[in-house]
Amino acid sequence: MPFADFAPLITRILAAALVGYLLGSIPFAYLVARWKGVDIFATGSRRAGTANVFWHVGRRRGMMVFACDVLKGAAAVYVASMFGQHELLGLVAGAAAIAGHWKSIFTGFKGGDGMVVLVGVSLGYLNWFVLIGIIVGIIFVLLFRRSVFRSSIGIFFGYGVMLALNQVIHHRGLDVMLGLTALALVVITHNILTHADHKPEKVPAAIDPDLLIADTPEVHSEAAGLSEEAILRQVIPQDDEN
């Protein structure tokens, strides 16, 4: 088939990718945190995502970022559908939106994990088994909330349930479901690799034992024999007399 027959499709694919990337690049986490005077890239996990805003900026602001990131993922799929070939272009735009969230052009190519944007991309297809899979994913996130990989675990089980339901009950849209599952695996891999080199915050150095005052009966006896004024004179240095 001549190249001229593929040219319109390639043009639509590039347009969907560009729209998806620009939508995904909108740094809602950064903007919402900045609104409160917080630099999200210097706070908590140093990632511009829902979880970091939720735990280190504010609960309501975290939910606001969650809604906005879901919206930009779904919007990428919706806009791409206007170019025709909804399934293919939606996946292209969704993948580009996740990439934009990872490496936002507006924040010096810094961003977040892309988990919530992936949820938005999936919701853009409006299948009932997607909703069930998301609910299952949230349950696993809560069950493993103490793990740094809780989001990856939730995504893994949630999209596993989506794929299973699609095969057992729905029997349609397998290509879309496989595409979404592939995106989920890419996001999980990115999340694991990103967290693998995450260094825990430094704990304070051990206190020098020589700087500690021995808590002995002699110390208590000596302190008991001092007046309040004498204790203050020892604790608070006095100015040199003129």
The mean pLDDT of the chain is 81
Dump pLDDT digits (tens) for 112-157: 999 999 999 999 987 788 889 989 998 998 898 888 888 899 999 9
Q: Is residue 215 included in any domain, yes or no?
A: no
Helix or strand (DSSP H, E) at 185: helix 174-196
pLDDT for the residue 93? 95
Greatest Cα pair distance, the chain, in angstroms, is 101
Residues whose CB is less than 8 angstroms from the CB of residue 62 and which lie 6 or more positions away in sequence, other chains included? 50, 51, 53, 54, 55
Dump pLDDT digits (tens) for 180-236: 999 999 999 998 888 765 544 333 344 344 434 444 444 444 545 555 555 455 545
Q: Is residue 83 included in any domain, yes or no?
A: yes
pLDDT of 30 > 80? The answer is yes
pLDDT for the residue 238? 53
pLDDT for the residue 20? 96
- For residue 110, give the 3-state DSSP assignment: strand
Considering only CA atoms, which of 7, 112, 131, 140 is closest in space to residue 49?
112
pLDDT for the residue 202? 39
pLDDT for the residue 104? 96
* Count: domains in the chain: 1
In whole angstroms, give the CA distance from residue 172 to residue 87: 12
- For residue 104, give the 3-state DSSP assignment: strand
Q: Is residue 31 included in any domain, yes or no?
A: yes
Q: Is residue 85 included in any domain, yes or no?
A: yes
Dump pLDDT digits (tens) for 63-94: 999 999 999 999 999 999 888 767 889 999 99
Q: Which domain holds residue 32?
A: 7-126
Q: At what angle do helices 59-81 and 28-35 cross, to 10 degrees?
A: 150
Range with the largest mean pLDDT of 44-48, 172-176, 200-204: 44-48
pLDDT for the residue 196? 64
Q: Is residue 173 included in any domain, yes or no?
A: no
Amino acid of residue 151: S
Q: Is residue 159 included in any domain, yes or no?
A: no
Q: Is residue 152 included in any domain, yes or no?
A: no
Q: Is residue 17 included in any domain, yes or no?
A: yes
Residue 104, phi then psi, degrees to nearest 5: -75, 130
